[in-house]
Amino acid sequence: MTSSATSSAELSNEEIFRYSRHLILPEVGLDGQKKLKRARVLLVGVGGLGSPAALYLAAAGVGTLGLVDFDVVDATNLQRQVLHGTSAIGKRKLDSARDRIEDLNPHVKVEAHETPLTSRNALEIISTYDIVVDGTDNFQTRYLVNDACVLLGKPNVYGSIYRFEGQASVFATADAPCYRCLFREPPPPGLVPSCAEGGVLGVLPGIVGTIQTTEALKLILGIGESLAGRLLLIDALRMQFRTLNLRKDPECPACGTHEIKELIDYEEFCGVRQAAADDAAAQSAVPEISPVQLAARIARGDDFDLIDVRDAHEWDIARIPGARLIPLATLVNELSSLDSARDIVVHCKLGGRSAKAVQQLQASGFRKVWNLAGGITRWSNDVDPSTPKY
């Protein structure tokens, strides 16, 4: 799917006027702006990082923007994904992104790829672009983007965010290290929480995404000193920026020994499937109660304990009446305060942490214990819509 845009490398009078603040920069000038117009940049993801990148690449006059995404706009995205607005809730992100980019700069051509980036399509999609801006939020796609860029010789402009911290670099250029030089192996599944679990300061992806955009523009223009060979670390709480020098690893299987000659199964490599199977097996072994069943027990006045294992700041957002807060991290210290002879229902936000709590209680000798399926989120959906969702 594409949208029409001016394809000529020459600039119209309208474009000259639009980009005048670029043209008067000696480092850019008319020739530089023509380079931007000829450039083809692929954004993998149009979420938190992809939003500012798409906006500023389009505003700068990058001629063709490829967008890879298959998600829809959700209200929880709007706190940080500034490419999308309230009116776009429920729309495909690609449609929302294309509409916003065309409104911002009709001279930009948008190529939309509504598909997950996989080992089957990554080389074909990436091969037609000059630069890749990685706005992904999971390790399997991050390694996929890296390996595809190394195999194709395409610069990979990297960014990542979590809570108040961000990272940025440029990988896979001719003489610089790649992502695998820094992180040879992915962390165990579940070790690094997602933004949905750990949260993120809404402005942080704006900071990191605009840094990625700056690096992409410098690469196109051939100016300045890029982050290739350096990792920029951002601490937004302290407003500190640190730079670590990176070395190309001669033993790197991607860009060093070149053992990786084709794209692999990245979900298998990152342990995603096995982790999902293990979680499913563990969940099936945990006794569950539905929110509707819990509400019926409360209405009958049944005698049982309802334990909330979320963190205190989540308790402040929303709670189920009658619950007692015991954060999961402190549960082991609170076991003596619980009566193993009583029925116990445990809940969290979605059911994952509470399932771990149930297993911990079972291992400590508690037998009459249940996990609230779907957590307080499903409670809000199925029983009490007045309970805030977050």
Q: Which residues are catalytic?
A: 195, 348
Look up residue 211 and give its two tokens.
């840094």
Distance separating alpha carbons of residues 186 and 206, to the nearest angstrom: 25
CA angle 94–195–118, rounded 5-degree value: 50
Computed on alpha carbons and rounded to an integer, the radius of gyration of the chain in Å comes to 25
Report the SS3 class of residue 144.
helix
Alpha helices (runs of H) in the chain, residue ranges in sequence order: 13-18, 20-23, 29-38, 50-60, 93-104, 122-126, 139-152, 179-182, 195-198, 204-221, 266-269, 272-284, 291-300, 312-317, 331-334, 352-363, 375-382
Distance separating alpha carbons of residues 350 and 51, to the nearest angstrom: 27
Look up residue 263 and give its two tokens.
């794209």
